[in-house]
Copies of this chain bind each other. A is one copy, B any other.
Amino acid sequence: MKFNQFAFHTPDLATQISELKQLRFLPADFTVTATNPTTLWLHLLQQTQVQALTPAGKKAAVAEYLATPTTSVPEFVNRHAVDATAFYTVALQLLGFEHGEDFTIGDPFPAMNRFHLPYHSPLTTTSDVVTAWYDLLNTFTKGGYVYLDHLAAAGYFHQFDNLPQPLFFNGKAQPVFATDNLVREVVYVESDLDTDHDGRADRLKTIIIRPQATNQGIQVPVVFTASPYNQGTNDAAGDRMMHDVNVPLTKKPVQALTYTDIAYQAPTVPTPQKTVPTNTVTAATETFSTEPSVKLNEYFLARGFAAVYSAGIGTKDSDGVRTTGDPAETAAAVAVIEWLNGNRPAYTDRTGSTTITAWWTTGNVAMTGKSYLGTLATAAATTGVDGLKTVISEAAISNWYDYYREGGLVVAPGGFPGEDADVLAEECFSRQKTANDYLHIKKYFHEQLAAITAGQDRTTGSYNAFWDARNYLKDTAHITADVLIVHGLNDQNVKPVHAYNLWHKLAPLSGNRKLILHQGQHIYINNFQSLDFSDMMNLWLSHELYGIDNGAPQLLPDVLVQDNSQPATWHTFSDWGGKPNQTLYLGEKQLRTQRQLQVPVASFTDQLDPVDFDFYTHNLDQWENDLLTLKTTKLTSQRLVFLTKPLQQDQYLQGLPQVSLHVASNQDIGLISCMLVDYGTARRLKADPTPLRGFSIPYGYHWQNNQLHEFTLAKQPSSFKLISRGHINLQNRTNLWQADPVEPGSFYQVDLSLQPAYYHLLAGHQLGLVICATDMPMTIRGNQGITYSIDPSKSHIELQMTPFH
């Protein structure tokens, strides 16, 4: 149990006092000189007992805390002045730590040091008490959220009339807004698109949840999530469309191409017919009851932000068709932001002419959400649309080619072999759920779906105009929003390269960029005990959308990385990647710092007997284990392993591992997969965070909450862990679009980047490079009898690796 708080700063005493007065912890006439420190402490403690509705009750409640091993708080203050030991002994009880288990009554500091909790010692003056209290309100409870959030959930803010709204403390918006009377509205934003080719501009259903206080004149900023999923998904239909991945690799016609040959050219489309508005209203005529749940948005709803959701073209109750990541889909998300900023009309229904304005917002927008949701946040940012101040892109795609393809190959998002752009289009086409709507759009949509199937081109796997249209990285120069990237280093679905490439594209821009890399797979991280993620986002959005001068750009680390070797440990860095500083040469089963000449060529054949092949296609985890383990398995002869010597000291491996192989195939086709592996016996973090029973993070007073989680070590040690993988078609040695010839038996130098890493290698472990062909969970699986040969003496890997302190 360790707490890592970054959205935490201690301002000067005058600011502390002013903010504590605003919170009503200090009376309006408070002065340091007129107040006894012990009396102040007792007063503050009583204020925390929100459940007690009388002064006598508050007093009695405080008497249940021990100030020393044998003295309750009132007994203590009768005889002593407050000191740091008493203050923090009580503080740990307030913060929900268990005496006797987590800490010892009367000896709080060893536990606080162990937990990384801030404290002030010595503590003697009234100023000391003020400062210590100020920081205590910002300090994490055992439940993984700050103490002031605990008090807020107990009703602290809701006992006062006339609190300022919004209210900021320590630079962060506080949950002072009622959430039991939120306004829920539906509007239909008119876009410039006509993706369903009916001649009318596509209207986009947009739902709004805003504090009731906006009806009393407060204007609020917006957290906006574009989620193609939130009007429902066609799971069964999508499953039926899944492509067979047990298909052979085939030869691509040899063809020399430049990027210009395949670059996406936006087609000229006729402007669709726009509605002539007849009148404008301020109240919607449609409402809703159950909203999509994006926890981060719920957190902000209590804090003076509106939440807006739109599912986009081709979703239920909207016009248009699904296009899976093309510019039209981006434009649909952008249209909502334009409406929020008064630059585009919305209508009260899908067909009428009554417009409705977003009069309740300041127009300042942040986009949020994970995966496809975060992807559309990134996409919207690349347009530079007015009002979009920042995007929080979590586990987001930055280039759809990197999602469904790699190195001239069809490579699946982990967990979804056989999925492709067309499958996703079908899955998200929730207009299908409305029977009458579907009746009229069905034919056209299926034509469009067929065009996606053709455009994505599973036959070659090459980069083409279809994919170029869906590559946001080529448009990053237009980004004006600040960008905060969150990505899992173990995300095999949206792989880390998406975050890496976006991060580097942002470097030359003038905006702020921040990066958080965690040890999760494809998950949200706003429920971790060890990290103040929600507070960081609060600091960020209070700064970005409310313009609060809270130092967010400086306080938040540029690059924050969760350590893979121990729980609850986060490191800060200034960048990710950079030039490789170490070359490891392939030797005979070795990775060496010196090139070895005269190494025999190593070969393997990529074919399993049909029974084993069938077994492994249904047991992909087993396949990965059997491929990577150093023990002998049915896959041992299917791959080559090259190992370093055991490391003398801990190392941090980061950035893009670059592999260069001298390789031959015995046929006129071939693919190579490389895995970088940490070999060494250790208890490693489990793949998924563990729910911490009995703890949940409250987002306000009688409002939503979030089950607390933390990555914990597996009970049993494991002997290796995959760090990174990469794939290439031997015909794509030159680039992703050109098809080179492969002569059977001829050796070629093939360069490929593996997925970027930030990996803590422990002393005594060995770094391994595993080379194989078919990567069962990822590539197509031809089970073809192709023999590959590697010349180690002409092969190497380049890494950035630095000693870890």
Q: Using a CB–CB distance below 8 Å, which chain A residues touch chain B?
A: 50-54, 56-57, 60, 63-66, 69-70, 72, 93, 98-101, 105, 153-155, 180-181, 186, 232-233, 235-237, 284-290, 349-351, 432-439, 693-694, 698, 701-702
The answer on a CB contact under 8 Å between A57 and B98 is no
Can you list 20 A-B contacts (CB < 8 A)?
A: A50-B289, A51-B286, A51-B288, A52-B286, A54-B285, A57-B285, A57-B286, A57-B349, A64-B435, A64-B436, A64-B437, A65-B435, A69-B439, A70-B439, A98-B236, A98-B433, A105-B435, A153-B290, A155-B289, A290-B698
Complex contacts, A693 vs chain B, CB 8 Å: 235
Residues of B within 8 A of A180 (CB): 180-181, 702
B98 contacts A286, CB within 8 Å?
no
Interface centre among A186, A237, A435 (most CB of B within 10 A): A435
- Decide yes or no: A66 and B439 within 8 Å by CB, A51-B186, A60-B349, A286-B51 being known contacts: yes
In angstroms, Cα B233 to Cα A98, docked, is: 11
Q: Name which residue of chain B comes closest to A350, CB basis.
A: B60
Given that A101-B236, A186-B51, A236-B101 are contacting pairs, would A66 and B436 also be in contact in the complex, using a CB cutoff of 8 Å? yes
Instruction: Tell me whether chain A's interface is mostly helix, strand or loop, or mixed.
Output: loop
Chain B residues with Cβ below 8 Å from A285 are 52-54, 57
A436 CA / B71 CA spacing, docked (Å): 8
Tell me whether A53 and B181 are in contact in the complex, defined as CB-CB below 8 angstroms, given that A63-B436, A437-B64 are known contacts.
Answer: no
Residues on B with C-beta less than 8 A from A54 are 285
Chain B residues with CB below 8 A from A56, complex form? 349
Is the pair B65, A436 in contact by a Cβ cutoff of 8 Å? Answer: yes
B436 touches A289 (CB 8 A): no
A288: chain B residues within 8 A (beta carbon): 51
| Complex Cα spacing A351 to B59, Å | 13
Task: Write out the residue numbers on chain B whose beta carbons fall within 8 Å of the beta carbon of A53.
Answer: 284-287
Of all A-B residue pairs in the complex, the 4 with the closest CB atoms, nearest first, are A180-B180, A66-B435, A72-B436, A154-B289
Residues of B with C-beta under 8 A to A50? 289
Closest Cβ–Cβ distance, residue A423 to chain B (whole Å): 16
Residues of B within 8 A of A290 (CB): 153-154, 698
In the assembled complex, the Cα of A181 lies from the Cα of B69 at a distance in Å of 41
Residues from chain B with a CB closer than 8 A to the CB of A93 are 435
Nearest-neighbour CB distance to chain B for A540, whole angstroms, equals 28
B435 & A351 in contact (Cβ 8 Å cutoff): no
Within the complex, the shortest CB–CB distance from A618 to chain B, in Å, comes to: 9
- Cβ of B701 and Cβ of A289 under 8 Å apart? yes
Q: Give Cα A3 to B6, complex, Å.
A: 51
Q: Which B residues are in CB contact (< 8 Å) with A99?
A: 435, 438
B-side contacts of A66, CB under 8 Å: 435-436, 439
A51 lies within 8 A of B287 (CB): yes
Interface contacts beyond A100-B237, A154-B290: sample of 12 additional A-B pairs, CB < 8 Å, sorted by A: A51-B289, A52-B286, A53-B284, A57-B285, A57-B349, A66-B439, A98-B236, A99-B435, A101-B236, A101-B237, A289-B702, A290-B698
Assembly CA distance A54 to B283 (angstroms): 12
Q: Assess whether A289 is in contact with B439, with CB atoms less than 8 Å apart.
A: no
Measured CA separation A439–B64 after assembly (Å)? 10
A351 touches B236 (CB 8 A): no
State in angstroms the CA–CA spacing of A652 and B290 once bound together. 44
Distance between A783 CB and nearest chain B CB, rounded to angstroms:
23
In angstroms, Cα B51 to Cα A50, docked, is 38
Which B residue sits closest to A351, measured CB to CB? B60
Residues of chain B within 8 A of A433, CB atoms compared: 98
CB distance from A83 to the nearest CB of B (A): 18
Distance in angstroms between the alpha carbons of A50 and B285 in the assembled complex: 11
Q: How far does the alpha carbon of A729 sit from the alpha carbon of B787 in the complex, in Å?
A: 65
CA distance A701 to B693 in the complex (A): 28
Min CB–CB distance A697 → chain B (angstroms): 12
Q: What is the CB-to-nearest-CB distance from A582 to chain B, in angstroms, rounded to a whole number?
A: 41
Taken together as a complex, chains A and B put the C-alpha atoms of A591 and B249 apart, in Å, by 57
Bound form: Cα–Cα A99–B432 in Å:
9
Looking across the interface, which residue of chain B has its beta carbon closest to that of A293? B696
Are B51 and A434 in touch, CB under 8 angstroms?
A: no
A286 contacts which chain B residues (CB < 8 A)?
Answer: 51-53, 57
Given the complex, which residues of B lie within 8 Å of A233, measured CB to CB?
Answer: 694
Residues of B within 8 A of A698 (CB): 290
Report the minimum CB–CB distance from A229 to chain B (whole Å).
9
A70–B153 Cα distance when bound, in Å, is 53
Residues of B within 8 A of A186 (CB): 51
Interchain nearest-CB distance for A158 vs B (Å):
9
Which residue of chain B has the shortest Cβ distance to A156 in the bound complex?
B289
Q: Is the CB of A434 within 8 A of B64?
A: yes
A446 to B702, CA, bound (A): 38
Q: Please measure, in the bound complex, the distance between the C-alpha atom of A771 and the C-alpha atom of B64, giving whole angstroms.
A: 55
User: Measured between alpha carbons, how far is A434 from B284 in the docked complex, in Å?
Assistant: 51
Complex: chain B residue closest to A69, CB-CB: B439
Task: Please give the distance in Å from A633's CB to the nearest CB on chain B.
Answer: 21
Chain B residue with Cβ nearest A284: B53
- A744 and B702 alpha carbons, distance in the complex (Å): 66
Which residues on the B side are within 8 Å of A100 (C-beta)?
Answer: 237, 432
Please, which residue of chain B has its CB at the minimum distance from the CB of A50?
Answer: B289
Give the complex CA separation of A720 and B438 in angstroms: 47
Given the complex of chains A and B, what is the CA–CA distance between A435 and B64 in angstroms?
A: 6
Find out whether the CB atom of B701 lies under 8 angstroms from the CB atom of A153.
no
* Chain B residues in 8 Å Cβ range of A65: 435-436
Task: For A75, give the chain B residue with the smallest CB separation.
Answer: B436
If A434-B64, A435-B65, A435-B99 touch, whether A153 touches B236 (CB-CB below 8 Å) is no
Interface centre among A64, A180, A701 (most CB of B within 10 A): A64
Find chain B residues with CB under 8 A from A235 CB: 693
Q: Which B-chain residue is minimally distant from A240 (CB atoms)?
A: B101
Considering the chains assembled together, what is the distance between the CA atoms of A742 and B111 in angstroms? Answer: 55
Minimum CB–CB distance for A646 against chain B, Å: 29
A66 to B434, CA, bound (A): 9
Q: How far is the CA of A232 from the CA of B57 in the complex (A)?
A: 21
The residue in chain B whose Cβ has the minimal distance to the Cβ of A317 is: B64
Give the residue name and chain of the B residue nearest to A442 (CB).
Answer: B100
A279 CB → nearest B CB, Å? 14
* Distance of A242 from chain B, by nearest CB (Å): 16
User: Smallest CB–CB gap between A42 and chain B, Å?
Assistant: 15
CB distance from A706 to the nearest CB of B (A): 13
Q: Which residues of B contact A155 (CB under 8 A)?
A: 287, 289
Looking at the assembled complex, report how far the CB atom of A231 sits from the nearest CB atom of chain B, in whole angstroms: 11
Which B residue sits closest to A60, measured CB to CB?
A: B349
Cα(A93)–Cα(B235), bound, Å? 17
Closest to A185 in B: B53
Measured CB to CB, the closest approach of chain B to A470, in angstroms, equals 27
In the assembled complex, the Cα of A99 lies from the Cα of B54 at a distance in Å of 59
In this complex, the member of A50, A64, A235, A289 whose beta carbon has the largest number of chain B beta carbons within 10 angstroms is: A289
Q: Which residues of B contact A154 (CB under 8 A)?
A: 289-290
A69 cross-chain contacts in B, Cβ below 8 A: 439
A351 CB contacts on chain B under 8 angstroms? 60
| CA A236 to CA B102, docked complex, whole Å | 10
Chain B residues with CB below 8 A from A60, complex form: 349-351
Nearest to A716 among chain B residues (CB) is B618
Q: Which residue of B lies closest to A701 (CB)?
A: B289
Residues of B within 8 A of A694 (CB): 232-233
Name the residue on B nearest A90 (C-beta). B435
Contacts of A438 in B (CB 8 A): 99
What chain B residues lie within 8 Å of A64 (beta carbons)? Answer: 434-437
A181, B701: Cα distance in complex, Å? 12
A285-B60 Cα distance, complex, nearest whole Å: 12
